Amino acid sequence: MLHLHRLLVEIERRDYERAHGRLSAGALLHNLIHDVTFAWLRPLTTLIAQMDELMDGPPDEAAMGASVGELRDLLRSDAEGNDFQKRYMALLQQEPDLVIAHGSLVRAIPR
């Protein structure tokens, strides 16, 4: 999941830098948090943080199962879905490395 997220951030950074110039690490972090260009990534970022908290705390199979279900739904590319799903679907059509990362993650998600 982290690899996929990192790849999505790098793709978005690349596209952003083409239009606006180079970003420092600090500027990238600021944009990830505040810039509307990166807002579509927030559902995945939030889900990663949520699952990380669950893994650090006492076992809660129900909450983890719900998070896994959210992840499965989020990764379902959908032209009519939320902002993440729409952008993700478009990027899957353009980025071969993303297709590979997506396939690896989907295979790793428990059913």
Complete DSSP assignment for 38-103? GGGGHHHHHHHHHHHHHHHSS--HHHHHHHHHHHHHHTS--TTS-HHHHHHHHHHHH-HHHHHHHH
Q: What's the pLDDT tens digit per position in 9-65?
A: 999 999 999 999 999 999 999 999 999 999 999 999 999 999 999 999 999 999 999
Domain boundaries, position 80: 2-108
Q: 58-72, pLDDT tens digit by residue?
A: 999 999 999 999 999
Number of domains into which the chain is organized: 1
